[in-house]
Amino acid sequence: MLKRGEKIDMKLLTIKNLSKRFGGLMAVDDFNLELKGGEIMGLIGPNGAGKTTIFNLLTGVYQPDLGEIVFMGKNIKNLKPYDICFQGIGRTFQIVKPFLNRTVLYNVMVGSFLWTNDIKKAEEEAIEVLKFIGLINKKDLLGKNLTIADRKRIEIARALATKPKLLLLDETMAGLNPTETEEAIVLVRKMQEEKKLTVLLIEHVMQVVMSLSERIAVLNHGRKIAEGTPQEVSCNENVIKAYLGEEYVTT
Amino acid sequence: MKDNSRGDINLVDPNYYLPLIALLILFCIPLVIKSVSWMQIMVLILWYACLTLSWNFVGGFAGVLPMGHAAYAGVGAYVSTLLFINYGLTPWVGMLIGGVISVLVALLIGVPTFKLHGAYYALASIAFVELLRMVTENTNKIFGIKINGARGLLIPLKGHSPFLFQFGEKIYYYYVILAMMLLIFFISYKIQKSKLGYYLVAGGEEQEAAESLGINVTKYKLIALSISAFFMAILGTFYAQLVLFIYPQGIMSLSLSFEIAFMAIIGGRGTLMGPILGAFTLVPLAELSRMYLSGSRFLGIHLMLYSSIIILVMLYMPKGLIGAFEKIYFFFTNKLFKKS
């Protein structure tokens, strides 16, 4: 296994033939994806396309029916969520789940305890992360007293505190106002540049996906219908069909 | 209480000297109270405070709701008593063996039941304590060891013999249980300020989020349950030595389990002082209402008074007594500070 801080493998994450069925519904159908170290990739698709299911498969919340997930040369398919965090995958939740009755600092310290048993060190690291993310002046507020934008930030901060290599962001920009969205975009860029993070993001706000992602994968009914640069994807016939309907396809 | 984890100990700060004064009062109480029945109540208050503190490891920090915790006290009481009656082993050692067996029982029951959430876990824990009580009540002998079923076990009287955990006067029991309370309180304090405490709280509040942060929630809940079950067993032994008679309907009953949970919840679960406050309020309330009201012509009026107060606290103090107590406490400490 690669140690933390070593040179990142060119292929950080390889997903092969990933499939998951819920009863009669094929939530994810033969999904393939490769992620290079250090890139930002967008995952888009209409509601119910299976995006969050893919995140849950990657993080061990669900077990895939078929397929392989290889992260940094290791098959992580059958690992539990907490083991996957140890491997270096952090995530946020579409429906935010902060520890509501605890302070912001407490929330982030839970993350930073992953690599230390010492409370002082955990606190120092959490404060570092809070400074990085711009929540430091709110560190003593309770989770339940935060705005939605800050709750989303706290989730990113918590995940960052576990020092991931790959960060999965599930609709982090949804419900933010334009200023907050702008700040969030800057933050994701900053994470990529300063923390050398690889980011896979689910997003409905097109402005965000288009400006952030180097590549985009489009999902519809559990299947990948397109993949490529933002320009390629936005001209793709299948994508326009999925989003707008048949009649909007111009040839 | 206020977060005192950092900074030097400052004796001018009321957050330091007030707890010390409270402790001093607790140390001096037996020197003032000479009545045996009042001493018995004091010992029981401290015993319940220990029970609620032990319950709090699971019910407070780990955020699950065990409603059958007397089971572990029962295991402890029976193991140490049986070892004493049959092999003459001193309960001082017997209680440690009882503690270990109680931990094993806890793990056995915890592995399947911690997959359950909320009310389902509470129901499972109730089923467990009832199962244990009924099995004990209906077992006369097992492997040639006399358990005596529902009639219970008498612990042979040995007079004043500290080595055998029997004392001639209540004052000894008082200091033993006070020491236990301080020990369990200290461990609670240490856990709350450690990775274990953070992980328990995280797992209790949002299991899925906690797991995404690398926390094996079930493992940490089992650790908390083990610590809890160990102390519950030791407290079971203490009760057996205090009363010198144990029977299933008493020490491993549903009603004792409920009492423990009620006291901790009403005091303020998940806090350090809440469970102690709960015991210090509800035990005297129960004992006094029993002493002064149960003989009156209204049968059961003491229970009505007791439960009315519990309902009022639940309605108007969602954080438990500790929430109200803290407000008053900080009001006065702030005044003291400003004056000095």
Instruction: Give A211-251 as a DSSP string.
Output: HH-SEEEEEETTEEEEEE-HHHHHH-HHHHHHHH-GGG---
As a whole number, mean pLDDT of residues A46-56 equals: 91
What's the gap in Å between the CA of B260 and the closest CA on chain A? 24
E-strand stretches of B85-211: 141-142, 145-146, 153-154
Top residue of B2, B213, B219 to mutate, by most chain A CBs within 10 Å, is B213
As a whole number, mean pLDDT of residues A29-57 equals: 92
- In this structure, the number of other CB atoms found within 10 A of the CB of residue B115 comes to 11
What's the gap in Å between the CA of A115 and the closest CA on chain B? 10
Q: Under an 8 A CB cutoff, do B213 and A101 touch?
A: no
Helical ranges in A61-204 per DSSP H: 81-87, 104-112, 119-133, 148-161, 178-194
Residues in A closer than 8 angstroms to B201, CB to CB, are 99, 102, 106, 110
Residues in B closer than 8 angstroms to A162, CB to CB, are 213-214
As a whole number, mean pLDDT of residues A100-115 equals: 95
Tokens found for residue B200: 């328990």
DSSP per residue, A164-202: -SEEEEESTTTT--HHHHHHHHHHHHHHHHHS--EEEEE
* Residues A110/B199, Cβ–Cβ less than 8 Å: yes
Report the residue from A81, A98, A113 with minimal CB separation from B212: A81
- In this structure, the number of other CB atoms found within 10 A of the CB of residue B290 comes to 13
Q: How far is CA A136 from the centre of its chain?
A: 23
CA distances (Å), A165 to each of A36, A72, A109, A174, A217, in order?
11, 9, 19, 24, 20
Report the residue from B195, B202, B214 with minimal CB separation from A99: B202
As a whole number, mean pLDDT of residues A167-189 equals: 90
Question: Of B195 and A173, which is predicted with more confidence?
Answer: B195
Residue B320 burial (CB < 10 Å; 0-12/13-18/19+)?
Answer: buried
CA distances (Å), B227 to each of B59, B178, B231, in order?
12, 19, 7
- What value does the mean pLDDT of chain A take? 89
CB pairs under 8 A between A and B: 73
Q: How far is CA A206 from the centre of its chain?
A: 16
- Altogether, the residues listed in chain A come to a count of 251
Report the residue from B195, B209, B216 with minimal CB separation from A113: B195
Q: Under an 8 A CB cutoff, do A99 and B211 touch?
A: no
Chain B's closest residue to A56, CA to CA, is: B212
As a whole number, mean pLDDT of residues A95-121 equals: 94
Tokens found for residue B115: 């997959």
Residue A97 burial (CB < 10 Å; 0-12/13-18/19+)?
Answer: buried
Report the residue from B194, B206, B214 with minimal CB separation from A82: B214
Q: Give the domains, in start order, of chain A with CATH numbers.
A: 40-60+82-246 (3.40.50.300)
CA B219 – CA A206 distance, rounded (Å): 42
Closest CA to A33 of A17, A21, A45: A17
Percent of chain A, pLDDT > 90? 67
CA A30 – CA A179 distance, rounded (Å): 38
Q: Under an 8 A CB cutoff, do A158 and B214 touch?
A: no
Report the residue from B194, B202, B216 with minimal CB separation from A110: B202
* Residues A111/B213, Cβ–Cβ less than 8 Å: yes
Chain B's closest residue to A91, CA to CA, is: B212
What's the gap in Å between the CA of A143 and the closest CA on chain B? 11
B323 interface with A at CB cutoff 8 Å: no
B195 interface with A at CB cutoff 8 Å: yes
Pseudo-torsion of CA B256, B294, B269, B107, nearest 10°? 0
Chain B's closest residue to A143, CA to CA, is: B205
Residues in B closer than 8 angstroms to A117, CB to CB, are 194-195
pTM of the model: 0.89
Residues in Cβ contact with B48 at an 8 Å cutoff, skipping those fewer than 6 apart: B259, B260, B263, B279, B282, B283
Residues in B closer than 8 angstroms to A61, CB to CB, are 208, 211
pLDDT for the residue numbered B190: 95
Query: Torsion-angle region of residue A92: left (phi > 0), alpha (psi -120 to 50) or beta?
Result: beta
* Residues B240/B150, Cβ–Cβ less than 8 Å: no
CA distances (Å), B68 to each of A248, B55, B252, in order?
64, 10, 8
* A250, pLDDT greater than 80: no
Q: Under an 8 A CB cutoff, do B211 and A101 touch?
A: no
pLDDT for the residue numbered B339: 52
User: In degrees, to the nearest 5, what angle opens at C-alpha B274 toward C-alphas B127 and B52?
Assistant: 35
Tokens found for residue B135: 């099995």
ipTM of this complex: 0.89
As a whole number, mean pLDDT of residues A80-90 equals: 95
One pLDDT digit (tens) per residue for chain B, 340 residues: 444 444 455 666 666 777 788 889 988 888 888 888 889 999 999 999 999 999 999 999 998 999 999 999 999 999 999 999 999 999 999 999 999 999 999 999 999 998 888 889 999 999 999 999 999 998 888 887 888 888 889 898 888 888 888 888 889 999 999 999 999 999 999 999 999 999 999 999 999 999 999 999 999 999 999 999 999 999 999 999 999 999 999 999 999 999 999 899 989 888 998 999 999 988 988 888 777 776 666 667 777 877 888 888 888 887 888 888 888 888 887 777 665 4
Closest CA to A91 of B195, B218, B209, B199: B209
Residues in Cβ contact with A20 at an 8 Å cutoff, skipping those fewer than 6 apart: A26, A27, A28, A50, A53, A57, A62, A64, A65, A222
pLDDT for the residue numbered B340: 47
User: In degrees, to the nearest 5, what angle opens at C-alpha A245 toward C-alphas A242 and A251?
Assistant: 95
Report the residue from B194, B202, B209 with minimal CB separation from A93: B209
Chain A's closest residue to B193, CA to CA, is: A119
Residue type, B326: E
As a whole number, mean pLDDT of residues A85-103 equals: 93
pLDDT for the residue numbered A248: 74
**Chain A residues bordering chain B (beta-carbon distance below 8 Å):** 59, 61, 80-82, 85-86, 90-91, 93, 97-102, 106, 109-111, 113-114, 116-117, 119, 122, 155, 158-159, 161-162
